Structure 1
Amino acid sequence: MVKFLVGLATLASIAFADITFNCIGYPAPGNSIGVSINGVITKLAALENTAPVWTGVVPGATSAVQYSYVEINAANTPVKTEAFVRKLNQTTDIATDNEFFDRPITHHVVPRLPYTYLATYPSKSKAFKETQIATLHLTGDKPAIDKLNASPETDGAEVRVNFRFINAKTIYSQRNITLKTSGKSSKEFAKQSYKIKFDTDFNQTFFSRPNLKLRSMATEPTYLREKLYIDTLNAVGVPTQQGSYVRLFINNEPYGLYLMVDDIKKSFAKQTVHGGDDLIIPGSLIQANAPTLSEQADLAYKGPLSAAYGKETYISQNLGNNLVTEPLSQLITLMKDLQDFDPVATPDPLVYWNNRIDLDGFLRNMALEYLFGGFDNYWMAGSNYFIYFNPTLGTSGKWQWLPTDFDGTFGNGAEIDPLGSYKTLYNFTPDHPLVSKLIIKNAAINALFNTIIKEIVSTTFKPEAMNPHIEALNKMISLDAAWDFTLPRKSPGKNPGFTFDDFNNNLVNITKDMSGAIKPWIAARANTTSVELQFTIPAGTADRVPPPPRKGGNGDDDDDASPEGGNASSDGVSVRAVGSVMVVVAMVASSLLLA
């Protein structure tokens, strides 16, 4: 009887059903993808509405099956076989995830960074999965796409493409969306960055994220700088673009590994700053740039009219309460207040600025610019930020800082001493008065800034907290980075010539074109700060504040919600329950017991 019950338990753990296999693959023309089980190959099919996912059912296979994917030619002869064996996530599964060919792990484990301040999550979206590398499959008119890549700096150039997004559990398609190249200096590189826009006027959408950027990461070898900055912004409670890695293919041609992030538009204010609240009317949103060294978005007052400010320096992305003829009117009022502010004589400076801006948020942003050595943002360059008039802050609204573009960090782009004090990094021409007047010259705000730096370094920006996150991200993207470095680029322009050795070495050593390495930089900056501000960095990786609740209720089978950064076990196999299969198994076991 005991043996019989043990046998029933074993049966109950195995799904009695044929297994559906799903492999994302790009075989050579004329070839196909198949699944090999015990040396027997079953050919899979790529359907028009799901390609490049190759799908097929293997009759008689159980959920205890071990398998590999193979590329086969027209004669069904293998030409490439995965060098590892796969298993289903659970023995109750009747289908695989969407698994990328020759990538052994679909769900990765990424320890999250400890929270220094309470974050406010954006509205719930399936667009960004922290522990997966999704696939973007775009198709469109090849001559038009080739022309776009050949002349990336052509103003207004764009093409229409069909879009397909594939992660472990989702295949999402949308037709006739807009693709264009992205950035300014990034267009000078052979590996282009791109923008993707869904036309919400025609009911196009992408999980409430209609504006995306695909960041090429071409300026630095680790492919981690921007992602690490975004993750740290989340950990210090700053509303920010979300970002996750994707493999990009256009017309079945590989373009490489990209970081997909939000493009900051009006929709970003709604979904990220306001959590998707439809009742809030977004305020003024200004994009701030430095088109030249002498023309920077320094927030220096130049007069009461918008025409006095460079059209490429301050770009209105949403008018808010401004007139079309004066799109910068509200921001100019802030700049005039900044000009009038006397950092020594103005009474109660904390009240003065808390009535005008989200002061804590601004100081957290500046703390990270200093800690990361951001050479191309506001503190050092008067560039790469958005400033948003949030109508829900205070009694009548306040300005809120929204940072962007974080690749120029950790010694990429400028030689910055990681041992240097922030007090030596403000004497710029032109002046950046929000730094010089508030952080450097005003005693009360300087004290608050010092406290913020202490709390961030004590909790998040220290080797003990950052290094496990860095190492996990490096491991997660390693195979795809190695693949990316081998790909021919599609545009004329600069190719830094980074290698896979640089990808790994720049975590700990200064490599080609870099004046800093990520891990030593963090250690040096954290230690220098603790010495200068006279505090001891505590041991451990505890949160300073409890993690924020996730949006969207109790979560679902497609959430990445585990404390370690995702629904994943240590070997990269996702942990989830397939309820319908479990019910079938329970019914089979019950019928056997009754017999």
Structure 2
Amino acid sequence: MLKHFVLLLVFLVSIAYSRTVHFKFLGFGEKAEVIVDNKKYSLTRTAGEPYFSAKVNVIPAGYFKYKYVLDNVEEDFERECPLEMTKTYIDFYGRKDTIKELGKFQYSENHWNRSIGKTNLFDDSYIPTIHITGNKTETFFHNPAISIKAEKVTVYLKDEKKAFTNVPLVAKNKDFEKFQIKMTLSKTANIHQRYLLKFRNGSEDPINLRQTIYGNINQAIGIPSIHSVMVRVYYNMKPAGFYTMQEEAVSESFLRAEFYGNAETETIDAPSSMGDAFDCSTGGDFEYKPYNMSYYDPFAQKIGKDKTKVVALTEAIEKLDTNNEEELAEFEKKWFDIDTFQKAMCMEYLTGDWDGYWFFTSNFVVYEDIKSSTENTFKFFYITQDHDETFGVGITDRINTVGYDFPKLSYTTMLNKTWHLDPFDADHRTLVDKFIASSPKLQQRFQNNLISIVQNIFNPVAFRKVVDTYYERYEPEVKWDYSFERPYRRTKMVPDWRYNDFLVAFENSLPGLPWGLYEWVKLRSEAIKNEFCISWEGDENPPDASCVPYKIPYLDDEKTTVVEEPTTTMLEETTTTNVEPTTTSLEETTTTNAEPTTTSLEETTTTNAEPTTTSLEETTTTAEPTTTSLEETTTTNAEPTTTKSTKTIPTSVGGFVDWFKNKKPSDFQNPKVKRTLQVQ
């Protein structure tokens, strides 16, 4: 009797001082366990997936440490489980820090409040995992020449997983073994309101982080910008690579989320019909040429029916008197957002973004915000994109005529000049010459933006403080990225960067790349410091009293002068503690006794194009919106759509002669390339 009483007492005490913890874990193996207080508990695997989980009644009830075992190999470190945690995030085998906050660029003059924000999808404190499965998928990764509908794609975020079936995949940049992949979902089958995503590899970038760095600065300074996050991609339980997952700037998915989102509620209030959107390639400029519509061929229309509105914008630009402040304010309200454009130009200049608008009239998007337009005026925004060839990567002597000193060149050397760097390039940079160089006050406005970005972000102290956290976080991932043979083989790749190049390229030059990343930032920012006699927090070599700042010609004396001290402070590093996920799950909670126990398999159902029965954890998404759980399966058959660019022959009286006399025979043929030859 006494024995039974003691056993009962022990049982009751163990219940009182224990708690159930749901362990969730990714590991590309067959068998997984978790060790808590020197006891092993088996985890149950989801069929065909690297996902393991179990609910375990653990003692002690307070703070404890744990580690995973995959195929009988223990992790060589311990993880921490704080008192308040009842669910782990989705841990990844061998990655010590499931959650690790990266440094943030700090900037006070951020007025862009229209975006839905990062959401869980682009939360870069976590490294998501993408697992693509199926027979078609196997063929695709060995032979990306064909587009497919992948049988299944599962996206693992920090505290949720979403699965999709029949997912269109298209490959690009197939000169490299680690080719780019575009994945198209749909409005109803989406991930936190996004439904078109790219998995990009900066093949020209030895650190594969320039796109991420550039985009994060864009978001910090407050301009419409695609979001990115670094992810691991696997196919059929095999490694594919460490990619940058990001939005596509000209897609409806991005434009809805970036222009009509609410970051607090993660909702979107987009118009039923989106405004015109153009994906612009080399030669895309904004001169008013209504009788030579082939001039606008570099504007590839992705949303909208014709180019009437963008031509109307060019007419409004031509007529604008930028020295008339009232007229300028009216123009910016009704036609074009100058503030975000100027900040975008600051970034193109600072990073040497040679494949963008200012250097090469290329790789940008213009979007008409239909909510800000009227019947006769059309409000456009400039959006920059494709940032892998920046910070010195890919600059040739076509653009760089001074060699190593190129980062020291002043922006003033790039104003009011004739460009035409190749047969496809435009003669001018109409937006730059109009909205920066056409009036002293606009130039001062640009210059103030430039100086503020340098003082707060683009200097050796602030920049390194943030980017060093990227290096620490991603170095193990890059090492993994070069540790296996890719399924798609190429005999030659140029360039062909390796892991050692990643280690070197932050500080030092490489063959074909004269500047290390930090070296470029230092040269550019030091030149600007000496040009404008400014400094920044932590600057060890500020200008002396003899420094004379550049003065904009004809600028009114009453114009505000540039301050010498930075206006914002640097971000202090923070320590991240795992907390209980805020989203809820449909999983039933099971409390077991004090003995080591595990729960059974968490059901996961793969859906097809037609609605099917849903599982406990995952919900099928149909054409109609449905309530989804934390972990859900979504079906999509959405195909990407594009609109071909159009050409227009003028029909106004007398207009045809003016139009025809400037044409060549080749102008009446269908263009064979996207870019249009720009004739001087």
TM-score bucket (shorter structure)? 0.7 to 0.9
Structure 1 residues 358-397: aligned runs within 5 Å: 358-393=337-372, 396-397=377-378
Counterpart for residue 75 of structure 1: none
Percent of aligned pairs sharing the same letter = 21
TM-score if structure 1 supplies the norm length?
A: 0.79
Counterpart for residue 333 of structure 1: 312
Q: 1:188 and 1:16, CA in 2 relative to 1: closer, same or farther beyond 3 A?
A: same
C-alpha separation in 2, matches of 1:58 and 1:543: 52
C-alpha separation in 2, matches of 1:350 and 1:519: 38
**Match of residue 436, structure 2, among 418, 436, 439:** 439
Q: 1:243 and 1:39, CA in 2 relative to 1: closer, same or farther beyond 3 A?
A: same
Offset of residue 178 of structure 1: 1.6
Counterpart for residue 150 of structure 1: 143
Counterpart for residue 22 of structure 2: 20
Does residue 253 of structure 1 match 2:245? no
C-alpha separation in 2, matches of 1:346 and 1:340: 14
Offset of residue 138 of structure 1: 1.5
Does the 8 Å CA contact 1:498/1:512 hold for their aligned counterparts?
A: no
Structure 1 residues 92-131: aligned runs within 5 Å: 92-118=84-110, 119-120=112-113, 122-123=115-116, 125-131=119-125
C-alpha RMSD of the superposition:
3.4
Instruction: Report the AA paired with residue 381 of structure 1.
Output: F
C-alpha separation in 1, matches of 2:56 and 2:120: 29
| SS of residue in 2 equivalent to 1:188 | coil
Instruction: Report the AA paired with residue 45 of structure 1.
Output: T
CA deviation string 1:332-390 (max 9, x = no partner): 22234445668899996676566531011111100110011111111111111110112
Offset of residue 535 of structure 1: 3.1
C-alpha separation in 2, matches of 1:543 and 1:166: 40
Q: 1:533 and 1:351, CA in 2 relative to 1: closer, same or farther beyond 3 A?
A: farther
C-alpha separation in 2, matches of 1:345 and 1:353: 12
Does the 8 Å CA contact 1:304/1:332 hold for their aligned counterparts?
A: no
Instruction: Report the AA paired with residue 284 of structure 2.
Output: A
Offset of residue 301 of structure 1: 4.2
Instruction: Report the AA paired with residue 471 of structure 1.
Output: D
**Match of residue 160, structure 1, among 150, 153, 166:** 150
Instruction: Report the AA paired with residue 380 of structure 2.
Output: W
**Match of residue 77, structure 2, among 59, 73, 84:** 84
Q: 1:347 and 1:171, CA in 2 relative to 1: closer, same or farther beyond 3 A?
A: closer
Does residue 574 of structure 1 match 2:578? yes
Counterpart for residue 44 of structure 1: 43
Q: 1:303 and 1:95, CA in 2 relative to 1: closer, same or farther beyond 3 A?
A: same
Counterpart for residue 455 of structure 1: 452
C-alpha separation in 1, matches of 2:373 and 2:168: 38
Instruction: Report the AA paired with residue 447 of structure 1.
Output: Q
Counterpart for residue 399 of structure 1: 380
C-alpha separation in 2, matches of 1:545 and 1:455: 9
TM-score if structure 2 supplies the norm length?
A: 0.69
Does the 8 Å CA contact 2:168/2:184 hold for their aligned counterparts?
A: yes
Specify every segment of 5 or more residues in structure 1 that has no aligned partner in the other structure, as ranges.
1-10, 73-77, 291-295, 548-562, 585-595
C-alpha separation in 2, matches of 1:126 and 1:82: 27
Does residue 475 of structure 1 match 2:472? yes
Counterpart for residue 626 of structure 2: none
C-alpha separation in 1, matches of 2:331 and 2:54: 65
Counterpart for residue 605 of structure 2: none
Does the 8 Å CA contact 1:137/1:165 hold for their aligned counterparts?
A: yes
C-alpha separation in 2, matches of 1:529 and 1:420: 9
Specify every segment of 5 or more residues in structure 2 that has no aligned partner in the other structure, as ranges.
1-12, 262-267, 401-405, 421-425, 540-564, 590-680
Offset of residue 543 of structure 1: 9.1
Counterpart for residue 181 of structure 1: 171
Counterpart for residue 268 of structure 1: 254
CA deviation string 1:403-462 (max 9, x = no partner): 111111111111551111122235420322222444345433222211211122122222
| SS of residue in 2 equivalent to 1:520 | helix
Instruction: Report the AA paired with residue 389 of structure 2.
Output: G
Q: 1:38 and 1:504, CA in 2 relative to 1: closer, same or farther beyond 3 A?
A: same
Report how many aligned residue pairs link the two structures. Answer: 518
C-alpha separation in 1, matches of 2:583 and 2:434: 60
Q: 1:67 and 1:465, CA in 2 relative to 1: closer, same or farther beyond 3 A?
A: same
CA deviation string 1:78-116 (max 9, x = no partner): 2x321112221x123233221000000011122211124
Q: 1:188 and 1:474, CA in 2 relative to 1: closer, same or farther beyond 3 A?
A: same
Structure 1 residues 384-533: aligned runs within 5 Å: 384-393=363-372, 396-414=377-395, 417-425=406-414, 427=417, 428-429=419-420, 430=426, 431-493=428-490, 494=493, 496-533=495-532
Moved more, 383-392 or 35-44: 35-44
C-alpha separation in 2, matches of 1:239 and 1:15: 51
Does the 8 Å CA contact 1:274/1:280 hold for their aligned counterparts?
A: no
C-alpha separation in 2, matches of 1:534 and 1:114: 22
Instruction: Report the AA paired with residue 164 of structure 1.
Output: T
| SS of residue in 2 equivalent to 1:254 | strand
C-alpha separation in 2, matches of 1:25 and 1:46: 9
Counterpart for residue 34 of structure 1: 33
**Match of residue 139, structure 1, among 133, 140, 151:** 133
Does the 8 Å CA contact 2:89/2:581 hold for their aligned counterparts?
A: no
Does the 8 Å CA contact 1:24/1:100 hold for their aligned counterparts?
A: yes
Structure 1 residues 214-363: aligned runs within 5 Å: 214-264=199-249, 265-275=251-261, 276-279=268-271, 281-290=273-282, 296-304=283-291, 306=293, 309-310=296-297, 313-319=298-304, 324=305, 327-338=306-317, 355-363=334-342
Instruction: Report the AA paired with residue 385 of structure 1.
Output: F
Counterpart for residue 592 of structure 1: none
Offset of residue 146 of structure 1: 2.5
CA deviation string 1:454-492 (max 9, x = no partner): 122122222222211101111111111110122323435
Offset of residue 135 of structure 1: 0.7
C-alpha separation in 2, matches of 1:362 and 1:259: 25
Instruction: Report the AA paired with residue 104 of structure 1.
Output: K
CA deviation string 1:283-319 (max 9, x = no partner): 11111123xxxxx223344434755533xx2222211
Q: 1:278 and 1:61, CA in 2 relative to 1: closer, same or farther beyond 3 A?
A: same
C-alpha separation in 2, matches of 1:288 and 1:213: 18
CA deviation string 1:524-560 (max 9, x = no partner): 21121122233333559x995899xxxxxxxxxxxxx
Q: 1:198 and 1:394, CA in 2 relative to 1: closer, same or farther beyond 3 A?
A: closer
Q: 1:175 and 1:367, CA in 2 relative to 1: closer, same or farther beyond 3 A?
A: same
Does the 8 Å CA contact 1:161/1:178 hold for their aligned counterparts?
A: no
Q: 1:43 and 1:496, CA in 2 relative to 1: closer, same or farther beyond 3 A?
A: farther
Q: 1:216 and 1:432, CA in 2 relative to 1: closer, same or farther beyond 3 A?
A: same
C-alpha separation in 2, matches of 1:353 and 1:478: 44
| SS of residue in 2 equivalent to 1:530 | helix
Q: 1:123 and 1:344, CA in 2 relative to 1: closer, same or farther beyond 3 A?
A: closer
C-alpha separation in 2, matches of 1:165 and 1:221: 26
Does the 8 Å CA contact 1:115/1:543 hold for their aligned counterparts?
A: no
- Between Structure 1 and Structure 2, whose CA radius of gyration is higher? 2
Moved more, 110-119 or 128-137: 110-119
